[in-house]
Amino acid sequence: MGATTTFGWPFPELADPANGPAGFQAGLQGAENTVKDKTLTAYTPAWTSTGATQPGGTVTKSGLYRVDNGRCTIWIDLLAGASPNGGTGNLYLSLPIAPAAAMSMQVMPVWLFSTASGGGIYAGLARPLAGQTAMPIYLPLGTADTRLSQWRNAADGNASGTGIPAVPAAYGWMPGSELVVAGSYFV
């Protein structure tokens, strides 16, 4: 009869601790945690519109993202200061990385906290467009009409109550209003 083959663990020979299986599991989890990316990368999202006038004024724009296994998780926050200006036409936010070109429809949740008279909290959708970094936002038409339409400021002239959502303020914003997007999409 031939010699018996001996197989060993791929790490140094150690005395078996009192709780060997738990120690082995902790070692594997420690190895996994050394390669898994837990960092968030900051970026400043661009806020643009399709009209002649672009958004401006006192608006704080913040963004964080992380990419794991082909999925980009983002958080975007726009906070209106003392004199926000939303430009004219449909409004867009930029993404840090373009969504997968092969996926025509992806959506994420978005919330608009409007301090305008007749405003409130509006839940809508952000739609990352396939292969593009510009992302449209869809919000309810108003407090009494929950159908979604693209977030927009009033046409040139900025008559309040004519944007989406249709509250007595241009594009639903007054000082202190906030827009938050939090979700993930495939890249």
Q: Under 8 Å CB-to-CB from 30, ≥6 apart: which residues? A: none
Kindly state the tokens that stand for 159: 């008559």
Is the pLDDT higher at 25 or at 175? Answer: 175
pTM: 0.76
Element (H, E) at 29: helix 20-35
108-134 mean pLDDT: 90
pLDDT digits (tens, 9 = 90+) for 47-60: 998 888 888 888 89
Burial of residue 46 (CB within 10 Å: 0-12, 13-18, 19+) is middle
